[in-house]
Structure 1
Amino acid sequence: MGMRRFLRFGVQRAFSSSYPSSSPSLSIWRGKRKEMGKEGLMVVQEMKRLQNSPPERLQSFIKSRVSRLLKSDLLAVLAEFQRQDNVSLCLMVYELVRKEIWYKPDMFFYRDMLMMLAQNKQAEKLMQVWEDSKREKVHFDQHTYGDIIRCLLDNNLPSQAMVFYSEMKESPEPPLSLPYRVILKGLVPYPELREKVKEDFLELFPGMFIYDPPDGLTDN
Structure 2
Amino acid sequence: MESQSALAQMGCLKFHFSQMGFHQRPQISLPSGKKIQALTVTCGLRDANKKPMWRSRVLSSEAIQAVHAMKLAKSSSKLEEVFQSRICRLLKADLLDTLTELRRQNELDLALKVFNFVRKEVWYKPDLSLYSDMILMLGKNKQIAMAEELFCELKKEGLDPDTRVYTEMIGVYLQVGMIDKAMETYETMKASGCTPHKLTFTILIRNLENAGEEELVAAVRRDCIQYVEFPKKFLEEVYQKHKEGNVENSDYEDESTIDPKAMLACHLSSHIQQPADEEAEVYSMSWQNCYAGEYLHVNTASWSF
Question: Within 5 A, what are the aligned runs for 1:33-112?
Answer: 33-50=56-73, 52-53=74-75, 55-112=76-133
Q: Which whole-Å CA distance do the structure 2 matches of 1:42 and 1:178 have between them?
A: 39
TM-score (norm 2): 0.51
Q: Which whole-Å CA distance do the structure 1 matches of 2:122 and 2:209 have between them?
A: 44
Tell whether the 8 Å contact from 1:114 to 1:148 is kept in structure 2 after alignment: yes
The letter of the residue matching 2:136 is M
Question: Within 5 A, what are the aligned runs for 1:2-41?
Answer: 30-31=54-55, 33-41=56-64
Deviations 1:8-35, CA, capped at 9 Å, x for gaps: xxxxxxxxxxxxxxxxxxxx7742x421
Identity of aligned residues (%): 30
The letter of the residue matching 1:135 is K
Deviations 1:149-169, CA, capped at 9 Å, x for gaps: 24653x335355345324313
Higher relative contact order (CA 8 A, sep 6+): 1
Higher Cα Rg: structure 1 or 2? 2
Deviations 1:25-67, CA, capped at 9 Å, x for gaps: xxx7742x421211111111111011x22x1221232134212
The letter of the residue matching 1:46 is A
Tell whether the 8 Å contact from 2:190 to 2:196 is kept in structure 1 after alignment: no
Q: CA RMSD in A?
A: 3.3
Tell whether the 8 Å contact from 1:177 to 1:205 is kept in structure 2 after alignment: no
Match 1:181 to one of 163, 187, 201? 201
How far did 1:179 drift?
4.7
Q: Which whole-Å CA distance do the structure 2 matches of 1:157 and 1:63 have between them?
A: 41
How far did 1:144 drift?
5.2
Deviations 1:178-201, CA, capped at 9 Å, x for gaps: 355222233222234x63464366
Q: Which whole-Å CA distance do the structure 2 matches of 1:35 and 1:180 have between them?
A: 30
The letter of the residue matching 1:202 is R
After the TM superposition, which segments of 4 or more aligned residues of structure 1 sit over 6 Å from their partners? none
Tell whether the 8 Å contact from 2:155 to 2:161 is kept in structure 1 after alignment: no
State the match for 1:132 in structure 2: 153
Match 1:149 to one of 170, 174, 185? 170
Q: Which whole-Å CA distance do the structure 2 matches of 1:101 and 1:144 have between them?
A: 25
TM-score (norm 1): 0.68
The count of residues paired between Structure 1 and Structure 2 equals 184
How far did 1:72 drift?
0.6
SS of residue in 1 equivalent to 2:209: coil
State the match for 1:170 in structure 2: 191
